[in-house]
């Protein structure tokens, strides 16, 4: 299986079986994102503990397969991380989609990098970039908002 096929499989899998879907218990941060270009919507719920650790994260959303897969991948990779590290990964991802070809964050394992890289194909489709980045921008908002 070549890399393109593998990436497609990962996106299809997350699009069909989104991880962390729903409203997580005891969330204390949330934010909404909207992509009018495609009609995608996402609502992220985050439970941040006293040590700035993301104890739990979940989402609800509607829209295209890319937007759902992206939110699912995001929550999957981010759960259990601290907020500071998460913001770095978000920045890294947004740069990846814009120009770079690789993630430079060193706190991700190979599986997580492969999963995130599966979204990098949208670079070839400018109309889909917002679908892939919406959830990540939304998490950025949720973490930076004052609690």
Of 95 and 125, CB closest to Zn ion: 125
Minimum distance from residue 101 beta carbon to Zn ion (Å)? 23
Residue 101: how many CA atoms within 13 Å on its side-chain side? 0
Minimum distance from residue 71 beta carbon to Zn ion (Å)? 11
Of 34 and 100, CB closest to Zn ion: 34
Distance between start and end Cα atoms, the chain: 45
- List Cβ neighbours of 144 (8 Å cut-off, separation of 6 or more): 87
Of 47 and 61, CB closest to Zn ion: 61
Of 26 and 36, CB closest to Zn ion: 36
Q: Contact positions toward Zn ion, by CB under 5 A?
A: 38, 40, 63-64, 67, 131
Of 64 and 88, CB closest to Zn ion: 64
Q: What is the DSSP string of 60-128?
A: EEES-HHHHHHHHHHHHHHTT-BHHHHHHHHHHHHHHHHT-SS---SSS-HHHHHHHHGGGGGGG-GGG
Residue 59 CA to residue 140 CA, distance in Å, equals: 14
Minimum distance from residue 131 beta carbon to Zn ion (Å)? 3
Minimum distance from residue 119 beta carbon to Zn ion (Å)? 12
Minimum distance from residue 15 beta carbon to Zn ion (Å)? 11
């Amino acid at each position: 299986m070549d890399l393109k096929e593998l990436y497609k499989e990962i996106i299809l899998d997350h699009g069909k079986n989104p991880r962390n879907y729903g409203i997580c218990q005891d969330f204390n941060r949330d934010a909404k994102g909207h992509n009018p270009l495609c009609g995608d919507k996402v609502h992220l719920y985050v439970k941040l503990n006293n040590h700035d650790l993301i104890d739990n994260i979940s989402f609800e959303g509607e829209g295209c397969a890319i937007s759902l897969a992206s939110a699912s991948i995001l929550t999957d990779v981010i759960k259990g991380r601290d907020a500071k590290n998460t913001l770095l990964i978000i920045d890294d991802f947004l740069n990846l989609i814009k120009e770079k070809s690789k993630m430079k964050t060193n706190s991700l394992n190979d599986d997580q990098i492969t999963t995130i890289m599966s979204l990098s194909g949208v670079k070839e489709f400018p109309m889909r970039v917002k679908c892939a980045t919406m959830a990540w921008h939304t998490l950025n908002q949720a973490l930076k908002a004052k609690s």
